Homo-oligomer: A and B are copies of this chain.
Amino acid sequence: MNGADVLIQTLADNGLEACFANPGTSEMQFVSALDREPRMRSVLCLFEGVATGAADGYGRMAGKPAVTLLHLGPGYANGGANLHNARKAGTPVVNVIGDHATYHRQYDAPLNSDIATWAKANSNWIASAETADQVGDLASQAIAASYGPPGGCASLILPADSAWSEASRKGPVVEVPRRATPAASAIAATAAKLKAAKSPVVLIGGSACTEAGLRAAGRLKAAGIRILTDTFVARLARGEGRCAPDKMLYFGERALKDLEGSDLMVLVETAMPVSFFAYPDMPSVLVPEGCALEALSDKSQDGIATLNLLADALGAPQDVALTAYAPQDCPSGELTAYTIGTSIARHMPSQAVISDDAVTAGLPIYSQTAQARAHEWLMLTGGAIGQGIPLAIGAAVACPDRKVLSLNGDGAAMYTVQGLWTIARENLDVTVVVFANHAYRILNIELARTGAGKPGPAAKKLLDLGSPRIDWMGLASSLGLPSVRCDTAESFDAAMARAMGQKGPQFIEAALL
């Protein structure tokens, strides 16, 4: 049993069973050991950003970490942006980063770099297994660290000689940590403040946005308290049979207008709301003047239990209002994000999972699907576009019986377009939609907001994707996906009906221009 065997067995003993991999020479022992551990499924990704985004999607849906297998410092860097998103989502991820043999590092061979420094900004735990005998225990520590709370990215550096040398023992099975709740006195004090407030709002994030969390929040709503979710949450339960709070609006000035008159904001499993970006002469903090802020529980704590304790303290009812399914007619005419949202609402099956990297197309679809069948909405928690395709891969591996719908702006989809191939290769039940408006549309909006003035020719050229126009249908076909292009509301509706009515990979280019 070598170090690589010990690593994979320790991971599998701890219930980890998915590895999103882009290996190189230094990881060949790990690759070979996969043949000897049938509990671990390995999924090849043609770029590390696909592997890490898939691990994020898997972790959000499975509630336990996936493993990534990355090739030294550059492999880690390639996966860094989607690990940033995973960190902001609080997703548990265990990164295995191959390295040169320990004795080889000193020679600074071409692929040598300071891996621990690469991993530092994004990891809640980093260690290097300097001997094969350390591998097992460090693997267990990495798993434990990935759970947090809050969850995050643990990075285990695996030198080649620690992988190929004989190892004496596996690491232990670790307990998944329980998350704390606020003290009874804090709950009572917050309940009293909520009672006394004229127009209170409770802002929720993290697990408080799952079905159970929203049901608990729904009790507070039934007691007359406004509930808002964070603008971007890792996983939001929506649609039929779920409680449906509003969410914090994206643009700060609109969010503040929406909150006008609120005199108390209670935070449950989240932090003080702030603007996504700063703009000249606009506030960063999205708490209106005169509104008291009460940080009841942070991202490491159990928001579901916190909300229920708060509801109990307020004597809130157990019965809560649940969203009813609302049928919609087939849209017609021009294809827009609104008609697309309607078609998705019409055809998306119960328990579907949406991976949202749709940027400007996202909000209309979000609003149109409020009364669709029950589904989960996975959002761009870290703002690093290129998440939508990889996240869908991971969600589909975690939940093979659920339909996954990946919604992507064309600019965003290009970042990790390699993921289309993995969807085809693994025959995943994923329908990918790309909104082809041939522009970084959001940046045309943002340019004005930052006070940068009207774009001239040079600036315009940096916001435009239209020359040449990307043939998305052809691109997806070249990577092995059955593909279709739709340029009317009717044709999109028909394509969505077909895609939702069968299992397996599908690609739809929504031609918005």
Which A residues are within 8 Å of any B CB, using their own CB? 21, 23-26, 28-29, 31-32, 34-36, 42, 44, 46-47, 49, 73-75, 77-78, 80-81, 84-85, 88, 100-101, 103-104, 107-111, 113-115, 117-118, 120-122, 160-161, 164, 232, 271-272, 274-278, 280, 284-285, 380-384, 386, 411, 414-415, 417-418, 421, 424-425, 442-443, 446-447, 449-453, 455-459, 461-465, 467-475, 477-480
Other-chain contact of A104, B277, B446, B475 (Cβ < 8 Å): B277
Q: How far does the Cβ of A383 sit from chain B's closest Cβ, in whole Å?
A: 4
Q: How far does the Cβ of A6 sit from chain B's closest Cβ, in whole Å?
A: 15
Would you mind naming 25 contact pairs between A and B with Cβ atoms under 8 Å apart? A24-B446, A25-B277, A25-B442, A25-B449, A31-B462, A34-B462, A42-B458, A44-B462, A73-B80, A74-B85, A74-B384, A75-B384, A77-B81, A107-B275, A108-B271, A109-B277, A110-B381, A111-B276, A111-B383, A111-B384, A160-B278, A414-B421, A417-B418, A470-B478, A474-B477
The answer to whether B73 and A452 touch across the interface, beta carbons within 8 angstroms, is no
Q: How far does the Cβ of A369 sit from chain B's closest Cβ, in whole Å?
A: 22
Residue of B nearest to A231 (CB): B110
The answer to whether A104 and B278 touch across the interface, beta carbons within 8 angstroms, is yes
Q: How far does the Cβ of A72 sit from chain B's closest Cβ, in whole Å?
A: 8
> What are the nearest 8 A-B pairs in CB distance?
A77-B80, A468-B480, A35-B456, A74-B384, A32-B452, A474-B478, A101-B278, A104-B278
Query: Measured between alpha carbons, how far is A333 from B61 in the docked complex, in Å?
Result: 52
Other-chain contact of A459, B34, B414, B462 (Cβ < 8 Å): B34
The answer to whether B21 and A425 touch across the interface, beta carbons within 8 angstroms, is no
The answer to whether B32 and A277 touch across the interface, beta carbons within 8 angstroms, is no
**Interfacial chain B residues near A31, Cβ < 8 Å:** 447, 452, 455, 458-459, 462-463
Query: Measured between alpha carbons, how far is A82 from B264 in the docked complex, in Å?
Result: 49
The answer to whether B462 and A471 touch across the interface, beta carbons within 8 angstroms, is no
Residue of B nearest to A35 (CB): B456
**Interfacial chain B residues near A418, Cβ < 8 Å:** 414-415, 417
Task: Taking A31-B452, A417-B418, A474-B474 as given, write out 12 further A-B residue pairs in contact, using a Cβ cutoff of 8 Å, ordered by the A residue number.
Answer: A28-B450, A31-B447, A47-B414, A73-B80, A74-B383, A75-B81, A78-B415, A109-B275, A110-B380, A110-B383, A111-B382, A113-B121
**Interfacial chain B residues near A462, Cβ < 8 Å:** 21, 23, 31, 34, 42, 44
Known A-B contacts A274-B109, A468-B421; the reply to A74 vs B84 at CB < 8 A is yes
**Interfacial chain B residues near A114, Cβ < 8 Å:** 120-121
The answer to whether B80 and A84 touch across the interface, beta carbons within 8 angstroms, is no
The answer to whether A277 and B34 touch across the interface, beta carbons within 8 angstroms, is no
The answer to whether B382 and A277 touch across the interface, beta carbons within 8 angstroms, is no
Q: How far does the Cβ of A504 sit from chain B's closest Cβ, in whole Å?
A: 13
**Interfacial chain B residues near A411, Cβ < 8 Å:** 46
**Interfacial chain B residues near A109, Cβ < 8 Å:** 274-277, 383
Q: How far does the Cβ of A384 sit from chain B's closest Cβ, in whole Å?
A: 4
Residue of B nearest to A479 (CB): B470
Q: How far does the Cβ of A111 sit from chain B's closest Cβ, in whole Å?
A: 4
Query: Measured between alpha carbons, how far is A455 from B27 in the docked complex, in Å?
Result: 13
The answer to whether A28 and B164 touch across the interface, beta carbons within 8 angstroms, is no
Query: Measured between alpha carbons, how far is A465 from B473 in the docked complex, in Å?
Result: 21
The answer to whether B118 and A382 touch across the interface, beta carbons within 8 angstroms, is no
Other-chain contact of A88, B110, B160, B164, B285 (Cβ < 8 Å): B110
Known A-B contacts A28-B447, A32-B453, A108-B271; the reply to A477 vs B470 at CB < 8 A is no
Other-chain contact of A475, B88, B276, B475 (Cβ < 8 Å): B475
Residue of B nearest to A84 (CB): B74
Residue of B nearest to A114 (CB): B121
The answer to whether B452 and A100 touch across the interface, beta carbons within 8 angstroms, is no
Residue of B nearest to A450 (CB): B28
Query: Measured between alpha carbons, how far is A353 from B339 in the docked complex, in Å?
Result: 49
The answer to whether B35 and A455 touch across the interface, beta carbons within 8 angstroms, is yes
**Interfacial chain B residues near A468, Cβ < 8 Å:** 421, 424-425, 479-480
**Interfacial chain B residues near A449, Cβ < 8 Å:** 25
Other-chain contact of A28, B414, B443, B461 (Cβ < 8 Å): B443
By CB atoms of chain B within 10 A, which of A415, A442, A452 has the most? A452
**Interfacial chain B residues near A121, Cβ < 8 Å:** 73, 113-115, 117-118
Known A-B contacts A25-B450, A103-B284, A278-B160; the reply to A84 vs B88 at CB < 8 A is no
The answer to whether B452 and A28 touch across the interface, beta carbons within 8 angstroms, is yes
Q: How far does the Cβ of A480 sit from chain B's closest Cβ, in whole Å?
A: 3
Known A-B contacts A31-B459, A110-B232, A459-B32; the reply to A81 vs B74 at CB < 8 A is yes
Query: Measured between alpha carbons, how far is A285 from B107 in the docked complex, in Å?
Result: 8
Other-chain contact of A118, B80, B104, B272, B473 (Cβ < 8 Å): B80
